[in-house]
Structure 1
Amino acid sequence: MWLGGTANGNYGPILNLTLSSANSNYCIDNAVVMQTYPDSVINLGKLGGNLKVYKKRNNDGIVEQTYAYVKFDISGLNNQQAESAKLSFRGKTGDANFNDLFKLGLYAVTQDWKGDTVKWKTKPSINASKMDTSLLNSSSARKEFNTNGTKLIDFINEEVRKGSKSIGLAIMSFGKDSTDNMWIGGLANGNYGPVLDLKYQTVYGSIPPAQVVLNPNGGNFIINVNVKLVNKPAKDSVFYTIGKGTVEDPTRNSTLFPEAGLTFTDTTTLKVIASRDGVYGNMVTATYNVLPVASPVFNPSPMVKYQKKVEVTISTTPADAVIYYSKDGSDPSEPYTQAIQLTQTTTLKTKAFSADFAYETPVVEATYQIVNTEDLPGTGPAGVGYKNLTRDNQPEVGLWLKPEAFTGLTDGSEVKLWNDMSGNS
């Protein structure tokens, strides 16, 4: 009796594997939150297991929301990139007067949750951007959320990339007021429950992309800044998004980062993410604060005191910027053309303008202290020095020695430290 081995060619053992490229998953957890009952965990058993999804005006005319959370297991997608995703549900409105009027929105939940603990006051956060939409009408046939771009698939793939074992989604009514006689099937309703259908590409053994390194990685800049990628492997594709304030995360449908880099002439937030063989890396975010004119700088430093006078210069960039200053504490209004001579303690204020005066910097101020010393006798022994060297009309340094300390010394035999007897500290 024998079996072919590795040396026996087509007589060797073969293991045939079939990898599914699609699956359908019913939700594994669900919850309902009601603005009307902010401190309560809603008992779905009392709702027949259904998920309520509506908004309605209360007796005071204020619109209050009721919406649902659903959770799906994605652990089977480990190291696989989903290529399409569809969420479907069964539900209806029991009021024929509202047929086809009610729109449902699908939102990404950005933190984990457990259905038996969720309250309105402590409900999990959701992304404000609606992913997909659907209609709720008087038919209980299964309905799908209509795809709105790639937001749902991008959310799922990002959670897969992070190693998440599940995803949470929120379903709520939007648009006009609705009736409370609106529901969708939940976890307890068997084949009436929400279903997430996924199709994906198997990428077992793929090496994740290298971490994106930006140069510079954010900061403050004048006029413009050019941002480049550092040591990007040839196999990696880097996608980016830019904007001000809230910036959407980049996906494989975003713009490729150019080899020459990106140049910003205004304050900009940049988000980048690398992809290799369908696997995403970690997203990198950097903000570049770009101003047309730098805040003016005084020279020399105002942190020390000056004897009798000091010559102060003011500088900024770019070279065509216009500088104004004042010496009397008022708002800067005097054009700066040459160094400023100060012979007494003075507070300088300055600000700079762009060449077209479309931009001005905040006011910068500095106080220069001028000390006018005179060669007059001090108050120490023999009229030399004073222990406080900042006192007006005193020499800057004075040293007074007491020769009696030589007693008992032989020339060259010892170095002796003598105390300063002038009264200086």
Structure 2
Amino acid sequence: MREIGNRSKPSKLPQSSKANIKNARVDEGEHRRNRTLILSAATAAAAVIVYYLFLKGGVLRSFRNTMPVGDDRAFDVVDIPGKGKGVVAMRDIEVHPYICIESDSSPAQLLKSRLRNLTPSQRDEYYSLSYVHPGKHLKSLSEDDITLAIFQTNGISAGDSVGLFPRTARLNHGCSAAFNSVYSWRSREGNLVVHAIKQIKRGQVDFFFSFEDPEMNSNLNIQQELLTTYMDTKRPRHERQAYVKSNYDFTCTCSVCSLPEVESRTSDKRLSKMTDLYQTFATWGRGEIDGITASRIAKDIWELGEQEGYWSERGRLAGDVVYVASAHSDERGVLAWAHLARKWFSIELGNDSTQALEMQTVLNKTRSHFAWGTRYPQLIELPAHVG
């Protein structure tokens, strides 16, 4: 029986994965985990490990450009005060269409030949990516050090391997309600796909700076930044900020981390409660709670997410309740939760994703779910929300 409540999803390469890069797909709460990148004499050895994991394993992909979807002017990479570069909306972006589809550059070739096989513009694009600095105790970095540092900071898990996606790597981090975009690896096509999970309006911003020159303020407030998340942000502000500072060397000032103290504490309580509820929800798989309790917990998680503005992971949550309803032979529950799961899998992963298509199959034939009838019959609770 598969475990329910597992929030695994593609993530940037955890810094702890120097010697285990192919394990970059991680479980809930372990996204982008462990220590800040430290480069030293061990860098050369780490590069050799990376080379053998990728080159010897045959995981070689050519460098291909981002494939624009629809109007390529929907977003652009620009300089953002205090952040370096970021991705901003050039027009209104609706929920759920692909924002971009990107094929990965080959980290094996980058590390093996130090980018010599790439065009000058591709090399410039790679070297313009940010990386976590190694510490002030090192006076200088070699080209190999910088190449490896960029890879370790910007690498994104792609199935059983890791790739570099230069455009997606420009997406800055936001916590909880602040992030509006998610990405997923499509193994069938060999592409990373970025989706908008919220409407992204041109004319709104999620970063806060003030300049003496009114024209600079005017120019700043014409686009909303596209933000993804580098971690599981269902945790208090001080933990989130400590994590990104330790692992990515910046202090998060997203709209959620910038909330006034009272509002921030309220947000922290919601997020911590969601984490606790997910852990309890997962105990259904061990038979510690029944289907009614599991579905009630899922509804509570959904409601807290609605209050918080945390819309990520909804497809997986609803899909897990489909599993519960099927196991308890509840056709009514299967249909209700499968509608939600299909909708949110389509938003987060695409309507042609494996998960969305699986939910459509269940909707077409309710008893087709592999878990059907594996537990005692029970009518679970139906979702309170239709969206």
Q: Same fold (TM over 0.5)?
A: no
**What TM-score does the superposition give when structure 2 sets the normalisation length?**
0.23
Q: Which structure carries more helix by proportion?
A: 2
Q: Quick check: which has more Rg, 1 or 2?
A: 1
Q: Which structure carries more strand by proportion?
A: 1
